[in-house]
Structure formats: structure tokens, C-alpha cells
Chains A and B, each alone.
Chain A
């Protein structure tokens, strides 16, 4: 009798055959799944590259350098920088596309950012890259300062010589900035023709451009000379840090107070750019009661009714005249006997007040995806 273990069976070949078929089929699935996953990751990398490029672009647009005199340093044509962001790095290049003949107008740039996605586990080579660009205008932190105090609303003729009595002060148009940082001197007072106080005033120290006070042109004309677009300022053109007047903030914030009349009752020291859409009235007693380092721009009139008020920078009033809105003529003396008013033009404090407005301002509706790398 032949023993069973001598017979050749077929279980093993069949098993091997089935296992081979299943292995081949599953391998095919795994290969396809891996390919699909790789394609998916690649799509994700491209999206990440866009994020990296955009992050680099925004970072660059927010980078503004200042010199020792607080002047914003305009990037040179072709300025380039590599910015590391989470997930990779962005190579950013800025090119000038238009340099206006008018020196006060802003330069037009196109800023291109190429985002590179780096996966630490995949070596140094970028996994994906994407280039975007943005048109942007370069804005300086400067203001066309005409005088220590520019009163486009005009000042009352009797001011400075009538009651209240015994008032004194300074209106200095000579730049009080530190040596080496000075800009050209300006007038002490700039007012429209026919709306000027009796001149020269007694009890006030004057300097700057001779004859210290310039009275010419119309009220709207003086407002236009400042080159401030009042309509833009009051209709969202400036994004303020605060919508109220804030003292003791040494970061030189931008304050935009929308009020028909802002009555300031408590003394204090302020810094930055204060914009009041209506009138501004200082009240209180102190020595000094108010000290402001920066720029004050007022749509209506300013009433200096405190006992002692001082500004280092520049003051502009009556800007509503630019948009044909009526406003009272102002007064230098206020209603306080023996009061002190000191407005010193200081270009450095003007620049500090406008510091947050300097740098690249992206042009709306001018962003570009899938840009050629150049």
C-alpha cells in the first residue's frame, strides 16, 4: 500500500496561487493609494507655498526702516530679502514701476514674493514654490508743514492784542529738531488773506521764515496747500489706533476723534497724531497743563482755553474749509488771562507722529497670483 505522505498533493500549489493573486491585487491598490496620497500631498504643498509666499509678502510690506532722524528709508529698486516663515521661506523682491516727477507723490512698486515649502524630513530642496505679487505705493512719514500753526480757518483780527490780557507764548517756525535732523524752517503762522491777527503780537517769541506770519490766499487754498486729503482722512482713509484722545502713550499712536467739538478738560501729555473732525477746545489749569509731541490736525477751530498749552511738532486747523464746510475763525489767546501758548515746529516729532503711516501701502485690487519668477 502506498503511504499518504508519498502522494503528490495540490493544496500547496493552490494556496501559493491564491496568495500570489491576492498579493498582486493588494499591491496594485497600495501603489495606487500611495500615488494618490503623493498627488494629494503635492496639491497641499502648492497651497502651502501660496501661504508662505503671501506671508512673506505681508511681512515685507510691513517692514519699514527708519534712520536716526526717524525718516522712513525708501527701499532701493530691486531690494530683495529672504524671509523665513513657518513651513518654509519667501524670497521677496521690490521693483520700482513708477517714479513720479512730483517729489511729494508716492513711488509705485511691484513687490514679488516667491514662497518655498520646506519639509524637514525631505531635505533642503523645496517641495513646492509659488509666486505672488502686489502693487504698492511707498509713503513717507512727512507732512507738507507750512508753519508751526497753519490756521486754514483764519484767526480773528483782534486776537493776540485784545482781552484776555497778559497772555504770552512762543510760535516758532525754526525747526527745533536735533542738529543733523532739521528740515527747512517754516513760518510761525500761516493764515488766509484777510483772516490774520494783528501782527506782530506782544508777549510772544517768534522765529522761522521771515516775516514769521504769511497771510495769503483763500481759506480753502491754505487747506489745499497742506496736501492733506481731508475727505479721505474723514472717510476711512486712515485707520486710527484709537478713536479717542489718549495721553501718555509714547508709541506715537494715530488718534481720530469724530466729534463736532472735543472738549479736553484734564491736563496731560500726549504723543502722536491727533485728528479731530470738528472743533478742539483745551481747558484746565496747570504748568504746563497740556504738552503734545506730534501733530494736531483739526477740522474746525482750536480754542486754547487752558492756562498753559504746548505743542512740539505742528498744528493745523480749519481743514473743513477744504471740503467747503463752514467753520469759525480761531483765536490765539483763548479765554484765560495770563495763559501761555507754545507751538514749536519740530520736524522730528512730526515724523514720529506719522511713523505708523510710513512704508508700503498696498494698492487695492492689485494682487497677482502665479507670477513669473524674475
Chain B
């Protein structure tokens, strides 16, 4: 049996070769790991932006003329319809019966009623806060005015109406008073979250966002982009530009800060007289 070992030269050559191969292997693994980390972070950022957009676009699109209550760089507040209908007769002091066309059941069940707005002769909506809504079976109040409940719709009673009572046959909607605001996150302290407030209920809708996330106003028939609030006042606003710059919760390997994804989308209010 030959028991001769390696020579020094063989060991040195072997070590050098192993070192070169090792460094190359480590670099490849590190690079691959960073790639995975960056992709992961980017997807988190994208999902943050996209999730916020999906929620907001449905609600904001239905804003009517006069429904935008406030708009700033970091927040918007609006009266957002969640159910439409036609008014019937007055059934008491400050109380009417109305026929709702079928609302989305989940939205209706989870809505926090902020008030109702009825359309006057000029086509403008008159908003009334502080009402309460209950189911009604008083079909006669609608039959008298030839107002029909369409299949899937429901009769409701609206009480606590201060001010003028809408005449029968008016289109109206029930609304939620909803605010969206970019502010400090609770789930990820030190980061920015998008908050949604309905009534007195606050909800952290999505997080984290980059500090460049903001709202911008679309004004006039051409939907010109302006900083909110626009110089001509909220009456000119015909839509919002959502600059949803989502961020990753973690800083990907090999980068100085969280990954960001800029999802900028424009939501035109489809219930305005553009």
C-alpha cells in the first residue's frame, strides 16, 4: 500500500483552487440571496400599494358633487354613498319611508351610516347628517307615489331628518363619512400607514408607505393635476390622484433602505357633472 502524502506544492495549489472556488460560490449565494430579498421586498411594497388602491378606488369613484369635504396632501375626507334609492312619503316628523335599490349586502351590513343626501330640483344633493335608518314594511307610503321596490331592494325608514323633508320620488343615497389619511403606523412603529376612518372607527388599511405617498387633486373638465387643496376650492375637484408609494417592511439585503413601489392612479369621480 502506498502511504505517501501530498506534497506542500500540491496542498498549496489545492488550497488556492479551493479558495477561488469558495469565494465564487459565496458571492453567487450572496448575490442570489440579495436578489431573492429584493424581489420579496418589492412584492411586499407592490401588495401594499395595490391593496390600498383596490379599496379606495371603489369608494372614491362614487363621490358626488359636493361630496368631497376636505382634501390635503396627506388626507381626504368624503361623504361616500353605499346605497341608493328613491324617497316615498313622509310618515312622521322628520321621518320618511324610502325604497332602496339593491345594495351590496356586505357593504350595507358593515356600513356606518353618516347621513343621507337627496337630490333637489337643480340636481344637487342636500346632505343631512344625524339620521337613523331602520327597516320598514310600510309599502303604502311608496305605493301612493308609484315608487317601486325593485327585486332585491328593500324598504327603509329614515328618521331624524332636520330641515326640509324631500318630496316623494327624489333620488337619494345613504353615505358614510370616510377619511383616508397617511399617518404613523401602529403595526409597524416608525413607518407610515394608510388609515381609513368611518365615524369614530379607525382602521389601519395598509402599511408601510414611503413618505412620498400623497393625494393630489384632479380639477376641471380636463382633470388637471393640482396639489390638494386646489387653488379654486374643493368645488372644482373632479377626482383624485392617488400616489401610493408602497414600501417593504424590511430592508432588503445589500440596500440602504426599504424597497418602494410607486403606484400612481387617477380616480375620476363618476358622479359629478363633468
Q: Does A323 contact B (CB under 8 A)?
A: no
Which one of A21-29, A253-261, A279-287 is at the B interface? A21-29
Whether A1 contacts B36 by the Cβ 8 Å rule is no
B99, B107, B150, B271: residue with the most chain A Cβ atoms closer than 10 Å:
B150
Whether B2 contacts A97 by the Cβ 8 Å rule is no
A22-B28 contact, Cβ under 8 Å, with A39-B47, A43-B50, A98-B169: yes
Chain B 162-174 near chain A by CB (<8 Å), digits 1 or 0: 0000000101000
Q: Tell me the B1-50 residues at the A interface (CB within 8 Å).
A: 1-2, 4, 25, 28-29, 32-33, 35-36, 39-40, 43, 46-47, 50
Query: In the assembly, what is the distance between CA of A368 and CA of B59, in Å?
Result: 10
Q: Give the residue of B25, B35, B86 whose beta carbon is less than 8 angstroms from that of A97.
A: B86
Q: Does B138 contact A (CB under 8 A)?
A: no
Whether A363 contacts B171 by the Cβ 8 Å rule is yes
Whether A29 contacts B273 by the Cβ 8 Å rule is no
Query: In the assembly, what is the distance between CA of A99 and CA of B146, in Å?
Result: 5
Whether B86 contacts A95 by the Cβ 8 Å rule is no
Chain A residue at minimum C-beta to C-beta distance from B25? A18
Q: Does B81 contact A (CB under 8 A)?
A: yes
Whether B62 contacts A368 by the Cβ 8 Å rule is yes
Secondary structure type dominating chain B contacts: mixed
Query: In the assembly, what is the distance between CA of A138 and CA of B101, in Å?
Result: 18
Q: Does A155 contact B (CB under 8 A)?
A: no
Whether B101 contacts A133 by the Cβ 8 Å rule is yes
Chain A 348-374 near chain B by CB (<8 Å), digits 1 or 0: 000000000000000111111111101
Min C-beta distance of B4 to chain A, whole Å = 8
Q: Does A148 contact B (CB under 8 A)?
A: no
Min C-beta distance of B46 to chain A, whole Å = 7
Q: Does B188 contact A (CB under 8 A)?
A: no
Query: In the assembly, what is the distance between CA of A32 and CA of B4, in Å?
Result: 54
Chain A 112-143 near chain B by CB (<8 Å), digits 1 or 0: 00000000000000000000010100000000
Query: In the assembly, what is the distance between CA of A26 and CA of B32, in Å?
Result: 8
Q: Does A110 contact B (CB under 8 A)?
A: yes
Min C-beta distance of A39 to chain B, whole Å = 7
Q: Give the residue of A18, A135, A366, A374 whose beta carbon is less than 8 angstroms from that of B151.
A: A374
Min C-beta distance of A357 to chain B, whole Å = 18
Whether B36 contacts A29 by the Cβ 8 Å rule is yes
Min C-beta distance of B144 to chain A, whole Å = 9
Chain A residue at minimum C-beta to C-beta distance from B35? A29
Query: In the assembly, what is the distance between CA of A26 and CA of B33, in Å?
Result: 9
Whether B152 contacts A374 by the Cβ 8 Å rule is yes
Q: Does A16 contact B (CB under 8 A)?
A: no
How many residues on B have C-beta within 8 angstroms of the other chain's C-beta atoms? 50
By a CB distance below 8 angstroms, the chain B residues around A366 are 84, 119, 171, 271
Secondary structure type dominating chain A contacts: mixed
Q: Give the residue of B61, B102, B123 whose beta carbon is less than 8 angstroms from that of A369.
A: B61
Chain B residue at minimum C-beta to C-beta distance from A2? B2
By a CB distance below 8 angstroms, the chain B residues around A39 are 47, 50
By a CB distance below 8 angstroms, the chain B residues around A368 are 62, 81, 84, 101
Q: Give the residue of B61, B102, B123, B125 whose beta carbon is less than 8 angstroms from that of A374.
A: B102
Whether A365 contacts B272 by the Cβ 8 Å rule is yes
Q: Does A40 contact B (CB under 8 A)?
A: yes
Query: In the assembly, what is the distance between CA of A64 and CA of B107, in Å?
Result: 34
Q: Give the residue of A1, A25, A98 whose beta carbon is less than 8 angstroms from that of B148.
A: A98
Query: In the assembly, what is the distance between CA of A25 and CA of B30, in Å?
Result: 11
Whether B32 contacts A97 by the Cβ 8 Å rule is no
By a CB distance below 8 angstroms, the chain A residues around B46 are 36, 40
Whether B104 contacts A98 by the Cβ 8 Å rule is no
A108-B104 contact, Cβ under 8 Å, with A22-B32, A36-B46, A98-B86: no
Query: In the assembly, what is the distance between CA of A368 and CA of B107, in Å?
Result: 13
Query: In the assembly, what is the distance between CA of A29 and CA of B43, in Å?
Result: 10
Q: Does B105 contact A (CB under 8 A)?
A: yes
Whether B102 contacts A100 by the Cβ 8 Å rule is no
Q: Does B103 contact A (CB under 8 A)?
A: yes
Residues of B in contact with A (beta carbons under 8 Å apart): 1-2, 4, 25, 28-29, 32-33, 35-36, 39-40, 43, 46-47, 50, 54, 58, 61-62, 64-65, 81, 84, 86, 99, 101-105, 107, 119, 123-125, 145-148, 150-153, 169, 171, 270-273
Q: List 19 A-B contacts (CB under 8 A).
A: A22-B29, A22-B32, A25-B33, A33-B39, A36-B47, A96-B148, A96-B150, A108-B169, A133-B84, A363-B119, A363-B123, A365-B125, A367-B271, A368-B81, A370-B104, A371-B101, A371-B102, A372-B102, A374-B102
Of all A-B residue pairs in the complex, the 6 with the closest CB atoms, nearest first, are A374-B152, A95-B150, A372-B102, A1-B2, A99-B146, A374-B102
Having A22-B28, A32-B39, one finds 14 other A-B pairs with CB under 8 Å, namely: A18-B25, A25-B32, A40-B50, A96-B148, A364-B273, A366-B84, A366-B271, A368-B84, A369-B61, A370-B58, A370-B107, A371-B102, A372-B103, A372-B152
